[in-house]
Structure 1
Amino acid sequence: MSMPPLKALNAPLLALRVFSVEFAHLSAPCLSVSTVYPDLLELSFHDDLGGFEAWRDALGLTPESVSYHEQGTHTRVLTAETDYAGARLRLTGYGRIPALTQGRAS
């Protein structure tokens, strides 16, 4: 099986180029572009739900568009998707679930 040419990734790479200008002031996410899903640009934020929220807001995504789930007992995961500059964009934020503390009344 032959690999697609680099131009197959034009949509997510263009979106990334736009982001580097329009949103240069925001936290840098972890980035993923793949020939498996050539139209998808993934931006992920590890231990940075604030960064996720800043990007969500900058992209005009409503809080209601965000899905929430948990991985195991320690990690919360926020996900939102949209189309941007011809690419499918997926934002994912990972954060710790605060440990429940059991205290006694003094």
Structure 2
Amino acid sequence: MSKGLAFEDLAVPLRTLRLLAADFGCLPAPEVRLSTIYPNRVELALFGDLAEFEAWREALGAAPEDVNYRVQGGSRTQVLRTTVAYSGAELELIGYSDIPALAQAEATV
């Protein structure tokens, strides 16, 4: 686990964040998560609009066929997930959105 991990051990994901900000600063700001359990991973999560996920996916060069789709939250939320290597780190991109048909049906009730 993270026992004995020093802050400098997060240098790779921190450098990756700096490069992402420089290279893709005009893209929508994601929620960013670093973990001492997976010290070489950067997680970027976007909520609500899957077009923001797609903008990041394209910018990072992740192929559409490498995106995993699933449903969670009692079939209320769709989740897109892909992983790419970027600047020496594993970059996990996640998009969460309401399922459109369900959201529309609830709005009419």
TM-score if structure 1 supplies the norm length?
0.89
1:41 CA displacement: 0.1
Identity %: 44
CA radius of gyration, larger in: 1
Report what 1:99 is aligned to.
Answer: 101
The correspondence of residues 53-64 of structure 1 with structure 2, limited to 5 A, is 53-64=54-65
- Cα-to-partner distance string for 1:45-97 (whole Å, 9 max, x where unaligned): 01121111100000111111100000021100000001110100100000110
SS of alignment partner, residue 28 of structure 1: coil
CA RMSD of aligned residues (A): 1.6
Higher helix share: 2
In the aligned structure 1, how far is the partner of 2:13 from the partner of 2:3? 21
Per mean C-alpha deviation after superposition, the further-off stretch among 64-73 and 92-101 is 92-101
Q: Which amino acid aligns with 1:7?
A: E
In the aligned structure 2, how far is the partner of 1:36 from the partner of 1:65? 24
Aligned residues: 102
SS of alignment partner, residue 99 of structure 1: helix
Report what 1:9 is aligned to.
Answer: 10
Q: Which amino acid aligns with 2:96?
A: Y
Report what 2:68 is aligned to.
Answer: 67
Question: Paired residue for 1:81, among 80, 83, 99?
Answer: 83
SS of alignment partner, residue 100 of structure 2: coil
Give structure 1 regions of 4+ aligned residues with deviation exceeding 2 angstroms: 99-102
In the aligned structure 2, how far is the partner of 1:96 from the partner of 1:2? 38
1:23 paired with 2:24, answer: yes
> Unpaired runs of 5+ in structure 1?
none
> Unpaired runs of 5+ in structure 2?
none
